[in-house]
Structure formats: C-alpha cells, structure tokens
Structure 1
C-alpha cells in the first residue's frame, strides 16, 4: 500500500510507503490529513517540485457497488469499494408525490413566472447523481494523487430494434449517464480509455485473477479486481502488490422540508431536514468523550442538543449531545475505512 503525498501548496506528489510517512511525521516535516473521501494522506511542511510517474485509475461501474483502483507502473497505490448512490430515485418520487398533494391545498404558493427547465437539456436526477458520484471520487483522488489516465469499463445499454435502427441508444439512462461521465473525466485533463466487459474478463484471465460472485463482499476479488486489471492494462503493472481495500460510502443529507411527511402525536408536523445542526454541518466528524469518533446528525432546537451517529454503521448513538462536548475534526462527504485483512 502507498500513502498519497502533497506538498505545502497542495501539489500532488508521488505516494510513499507507510514507513516513509512515519519517518516524516517523526521528524516534523509533515502532518497527517484526510481528504473528502476520508482517505488518509500526508502533507509536507515545505514546497517540493514534482517528479511524478504515470498513475492510472481504473473504474468498474456497478448498480450497487463499484470498484476503483490506482495503479502505477509497478506498485498498487489504492483500492476502493464504493457504494453507489441509490436513494435519489425514491427521494424524487416522494418529492413528486408531496408536490402533487400540495396543489390541492389553498395555501400553496403561486406558480413561477417561467419554468426554469423548459426547453433545456438536462439529465434525470437519479442518473446524474449516480454517474457524477464517480467523477467526484476521481476528482478527490486527483487532488492528492498525480493521476494521468483513467480506464472505464464501458457498460452497454440494453437496446432493442426500432424504426430507426436502435430504439433507446440515445436516451437510455445508462447511455446518457456514461457519456456525461466521459465528458467530466476529459474535462479534468485525464486521458480516458474504454474497455468492454469481455475485455475485462480476458484481462482477469491474463493476470491469473478470479472474481467472486458475492457482490457485497468487502474484499479485493469482488469489484476492485476488475478495476485493477483495467488500470494495469494501461499502466503496465504485472501483479497487484497490495490487495488491501478501502470501503467508501457517501453521506446522505436530507433536503429541508416544510414539515415531516407524517404528523407526530397530537397532529403536530415538526420541521425536518436541512444541512446544519446548531452551527455544525451534518456529517461533520467529531470526537465525543463517551461515544468516541462519530458524525453529527439532527438536533433539537428547544433543548439545544444534537444526535450523534456511529461513523461506520451510521447507527444513532444519542440525541442528547451538547455541541461543547464535541471536538470537531473535519467534514467528510464520504465515510470510509480500511477493511481488515484476513
């Protein structure tokens, strides 16, 4: 495993070994940090001119889980197993249902003077969130690693014959989403390579690697094996030098609502949602003397308390935490941890 390194200006340098990182910390020439993905990296206390080698990131898209691997010419830098955002479609359905219900009420606000989305090309929210999440992960990796190329398994959209040839080749959610992803990756200055599914299988056989059928298994051979062979096919690596895995899942922030969908006891509808709790952004990583490392959730305005959640499982630990008792660490858009090796 390699640890990302940046200098005092934030310029990404070549990653180092854990032993080198400990030596830098001990000498006082560096300090530990975490990026928005929650991945640990080293920031030097001085400027250094980069002398970087090519680093390739491989992406294995999936419906529920996805694989990301950063591979150099010889060493494996990073392996990620990421949970894909699947909550947007249901959230949009709920919002649509509530909007239709509000139209029957007398107190609804008047319509807008113009429809902002009328005659404008747009991508459905569920499709956009799923494919832009991949681009955001690559952008966060690029902030701490000198990435040069990206290899993506080109997912084929299900099509059927129609009058003009293919029926849904141009407006399938998969087709539209992957084209949007390729544009975003190209805009980052990365060279994009595409591989078909059968090519990924041949690459696994070429490197002598096997893939498990258990999709939710937190191991290298579930999804990271495909992303590794994709990256190695361009970087030139011959074998995975490290199979340790970071498990990453995004923080879900609930949109602010006028009130809860279901009335509480007594018919009262309390406010719900939002992104801040008593001055702290929800999802902020804090340390509590009783509950340890946890994240900030909702709050009670009357009692001036907030809820804390377990970092990995997101299980609520308490609803009575005081902001003064929480030592703020940082805010992360993704929760991640290193999967223990067997």
Structure 2
C-alpha cells in the first residue's frame, strides 16, 4: 500500500478524537510549532494533527471517498470540492505477489494452493499400497460439504483490506459519502464467467 506524496490537506481531529475539517500542511506545521497541536500517524500511515486547544469551528464541508477497485490493486481517493486530502494505491493481498524478493509476502491464492498440496501429500502417506485397493485405509466418500455460498478467501481478504483503510480514515476525516465503482457482470464472451472484481462487490 502506497500513499501519494502530493497531499494537499492534512486531517485534523480534536482532543476528544472528533474529526474536523482537514487543513493545509503549512497551517498544521504552524500549529505544531506553537504547541497548539501534535502530529501523529494512524494505523495506515497517514499523518494527521490533534488539536490541544479549542478549534475555531466545528463546521465541515462535504468530503467524498471514491474507490476504483481492481483485481490486484485498488485506488482510494479522499477529496472535497476544493482539494484532494489523501490518495491510496493499495496492493491487495488476494492476488498480488511481488517478485522482487523471496521474503515478500505470498498472495492468498498461493497460500491456499500450497495448503491443498500439503494436505494431499499427508493423505497419500497414510495409504498402504502393498495391499489390495479395497483393503487400503481409504475414507469413504462423504457428501459434498465444501461448496457453500461463501466469498472466496482471496476476494474476502481484498474487501477486508479496503474496509480497514476506510475504517481507519473515517476516524480522522469526517466522511460524507463513499462511492464505489460499478463493475460489470459477465466478462467472458460466452457469458459463463464473472470477474474477480465483481465477486463480493
């Protein structure tokens, strides 16, 4: 997850953790220098200031959040009518996998495939292939209890990451509305497939 460096506004909260209207970077620096506020960072790494004195007003303008969802990346923008407050370029954990270093985190789909591979290996080690097939230690086939109406783990992790960003930012920015991009349905020409972006929307 990366944050755009061209931030035009700095979030502001009162000492009771009530979000106020964001201010300019110059004014926030002035507040910190004179002891009127202290600078902090939230859990997603966004810098904000917390006022130690009574603010001049509690009125806020309309702040809208826009999300541009993709399969491996999602863009999130917080802005008002006059300025952009903060921009996010989130690398989603469901499908995204960095090839720069071996120590980089794996995608959720890769972890699920590895878990399936290890499970098949463990099951194969319990079979005695020296005896007849019907005498081997095979578990009888049960009913199919694995197909349920659930969101795949990769897509669920993506949506939860986006929700965490919105939740943390709502604590320091008075959000008025959240707008999400409307994704299409069937993506294959035969109409038999649905895009991973659309699932769980």
Out of 50, 63, 70, the residue aligned to residue 43 of structure 1 is 50
TM-score by length of 1: 0.43
Between 147-156 and 3-12, the greater mean CA deviation after superposition: 147-156
Secondary structure of the residue aligned to 1:132 is helix
Out of 185, 188, 193, the residue aligned to residue 157 of structure 1 is 185
1:153-302 → structure 2 map (5 Å cutoff): 153-159=181-187, 167-168=192-193, 173-178=196-201
1:30 has 2:37 as partner = yes
1:60 has 2:68 as partner = yes
Q: Render the CA deviation track for 1:103-154: whole Å, top value 9, x for unaligned.
A: 3456xxxxxxxxxx86864211001112222222222221111111122222
1:175/1:64 Cα in 2 relative to 1: closer, same or farther (>3 Å)? closer
Q: Distance in 2 between matches of 1:65 and 1:123?
A: 18
Shift in Å at residue 157 of structure 1? 3.2
Q: Render the CA deviation track for 1:176-219: whole Å, top value 9, x for unaligned.
A: 321xxxxxxxxxxxxxxxxxxxxxxxxxxxxxxxxxxxxxxxxx
Q: Distance in 2 between matches of 1:79 and 1:155?
A: 21
2:157 corresponds in structure 1 to: 129
Structure with higher strand content: 1
Q: Render the CA deviation track for 1:289-311: whole Å, top value 9, x for unaligned.
A: xxxxxxxxxxxxxxxxxxxxxxx
1:139 corresponds in structure 2 to: 167
Out of 9, 12, 16, the residue aligned to residue 9 of structure 1 is 16
Q: Distance in 2 between matches of 1:67 and 1:168?
A: 24
1:111 corresponds in structure 2 to: none
1:118/1:127 Cα in 2 relative to 1: closer, same or farther (>3 Å)? same
Secondary structure of the residue aligned to 1:28 is coil
Out of 83, 91, 96, the residue aligned to residue 91 of structure 2 is 83
Secondary structure of the residue aligned to 1:10 is coil
TM-score by length of 2: 0.70
> More relative contact order in 1 or in 2 (CA 8 Å, sep 6+)?
2
1:28/1:100 Cα in 2 relative to 1: closer, same or farther (>3 Å)? same
Question: Could you say what the CA RMSD is over the residues aligned between the two structures, in angstroms?
Answer: 2.5
Gaps of 5+ in 1: 107-116, 179-342
Bigger Cα Rg: 2
